Structure 1
């Protein structure tokens, strides 16, 4: 499709709020590298707009623009995961606005329908999201992008093994590690007790929630020596609608902070605040281990996990096979942690690559290369 190209870059914030920390640090790095470069942030809801507007004030030549189908959601608490307009109609209505844009950056596969189905001159750059992701790495839509940015060499090799051209895949390190706009953890609890983060997975065949979850929460609170953050994957409540009633029943109880919706669930606030990670197979543990700390894993389903790569993260801490072993394992975890520290460090290096904060600058250089 023909059109006059204006030197600018567009970032697509059209998906779930969990994508924002994987994308916004690149905006900051690009604005720092090229302060006069026009950068457009396309948003799908007022929740996205409010967050990005506050952070980007005074940041280079950044403009926030409302995508077609934009939803104003005045009743939503700032940062809560909002209902999104339909993605494909939004994308195709947005297309005329993107035709004069040389480079578009996104963090999800849906946006790649545009370069995959249309002969566009615009170069799309896709950055992987997720920690130790198990997504369909070789999906044909990904190959329609000009470049794919991945955190670690393991991801790059997986894409190449799946048929991608090596020059298309750029290893940057983990972009989200540089996300700065987190919820302060100091306000969560009145008492300075050790903080446990419990993050059950949202899929029943991989999760501790269906068999053990409520009892895990009750046993920790009854013990009384720990503060508990209960922050499962946002999609768990889709599978367990009664979860909202369970969380409502925790309101007012000492030593527990329960969250099903807020931006703190996805921005790294809780993994940064915790002293001990308690979970099953959620990838949040990889982000948690960016700073090595004690872990305990719940084998509620009786998995034969030792040689199963899907449970590789369970080498980072003790594995509990019964509820009666839960509190003893939590108590012992800080003492046993030195024996797991090296494993955690190696696991993070393999899964996330560089987590020192330099990933957004490398990603910004890939964007500038696309402009050139």
Structure 2
């Protein structure tokens, strides 16, 4: 698959082209690993904001040369157009890709954590650059197995579950992928848990998604905050998917739905036993999944990061899903599912300690979703796979 010449070193770019930072930790740990594994390659970084660049730098090994950084900021016209359209279409990302086509042609491969980059394949017949994909998360939603994945030249995967579902969906084939584990776990493994509250009451993490159909926030959100505001048995961390509060109008291309997102009543933030975070770095670095005793959510892939250590979980069916036996809701087998909030208090009281049945379900699903190898780190496994795919000497 080698696309560079025998004289010039191959250029491998790690591209980060999203509005927020939640995708960075999935591929940034591979950068330094690839520098070590394939020293003849030119490993470089491409970002679309200063925040992204700073976030990426936090994952780099200071003992290695700093990679070159390139910026592909969206222009003001695309920002204005996206704002006027209610931010329903990712015009900033698409504009950045289109305007940077000439830059990308100088790379032999781009490593990316999202599918918008397939725009480059849809709009060019060039073999350069190769696109290498690592999905940002190991969740169950159908969007994680979308047809766009067929356009990638190579796919790196966290475990057998994602591989099997992608093969079943026909978006990968047997010889264009490799299971490498989950670099995000490696990135934060050495960090101690953070104590969020002064007392020792159980901590509940409410982690709704942003999808306007699947998210429990639109139907249940304020009622949940109101419930926790009026009780004294639990502390609450409200840390939704970072995209939920980045836009006032939420759009789902997958489900063809638009919904306006309501604001949070300021009175909740004033309470000592409620911590609200609508988008800081702690929302994406597993601080909250590590600090919580009970998970409360809907379809976010963060549930799979939470069950690295099996614990009680409760799921909110706010959209009348017929979820039993549906692979898109496999994580709803990790704990009780409630269809309305009348039973929330009783469910919270009953869910701890974690039952053997739910513990086994979580442990099985975690092992199926993440290939954990004590002999090699996920970042090194990914770097080896990239070097072998691109035929770079190691």
- TM-score tier, shorter chain, comes to 0.7 to 0.9
Q: TM-score, normalised by structure 1?
A: 0.84
Q: Distance in 2 between matches of 1:206 and 1:106?
A: 26
Cα distance 1:61–1:120, how it changes in 2: closer, same or farther (>3 A)?
Answer: farther
1:25 and 2:29 are equivalent in the alignment? yes
Question: Paired residue for 1:93?
Answer: 99
CA distance in 1, matches of 2:220, 2:346: 16
Partner of residue 76, structure 1: none
Which residue of structure 1 lines up, in the alignment, with residue 87 of structure 2?
A: none
Q: Distance in 2 between matches of 1:205 and 1:229?
A: 23
User: Deviation string for 1:267-291 (max 9, x for gaps)?
Assistant: 2221122111011232221221121
- Which has the larger displacement, 197-206 or 233-242? 233-242
- The question of 1:129 aligning with 2:136 is answered yes
Bigger proportion of residues as helix: 1
How well do the aligned residues superpose, as a CA RMSD in angstroms?
3.1
Match of 1:108 among 103, 111, 114: 114
Aligned match of 1:359: 378
Say yes or no: does 1:220 pair with 2:228.
yes
The aligned residue for residue 309 of structure 1 is 327
Q: 1:268 to 1:115 in 2, by over 3 A?
A: same
1:278 matched residue in structure 2: 296
Contact between 1:231 and 1:258, CA under 8 Å: does it hold in 2?
A: yes
Unaligned ranges ≥5, structure 1:
73-83
Alignment of 1:1-372 (within 5 A): 5-15=8-18, 16-34=20-38, 37-56=41-60, 58-69=62-73, 86-116=92-122, 117-133=124-140, 134-135=142-143, 137=145, 139=147, 141-161=148-168, 162=170, 164-180=172-188, 186=194, 188-237=196-245, 238=247, 239=250, 243-246=262-265, 248-354=266-372, 358-369=377-388, 370-372=390-392
* Superposed displacement of residue 340, structure 1: 1.1
Contact 1:22-1:175 at 8 Å conserved across structures: yes
Taking the aligned partners of 1:348 and 1:245, their CA distance within structure 2 comes to 33
* 2:351 match: secondary structure: helix
Q: Which runs of 5+ in 2 are unaligned?
A: 77-89, 251-258
* Maintained 8 Å contact 1:212/1:323: yes
Shift of 1:174: 2.4
Cα 1:138–1:241 shift into 2, 3 Å: closer
Aligned equivalents of 1:52 and 1:71: distance in 2?
A: 22
Q: Offset of 1:324 from its aligned partner? A: 3.4
Cα distance in structure 2, aligned partners of 1:265 and 1:243: 20
Count the aligned residue pairs. 360
How far 1:163 moved relative to its partner? 5.8
1:202–1:236: 8 Å Cα contact kept in structure 2? Answer: yes
Asked whether the 8 Å contact 1:6–1:100 carries over to 2, the reply is no
* Aligned partners of 1:199 and 1:231 also within 8 Å: yes
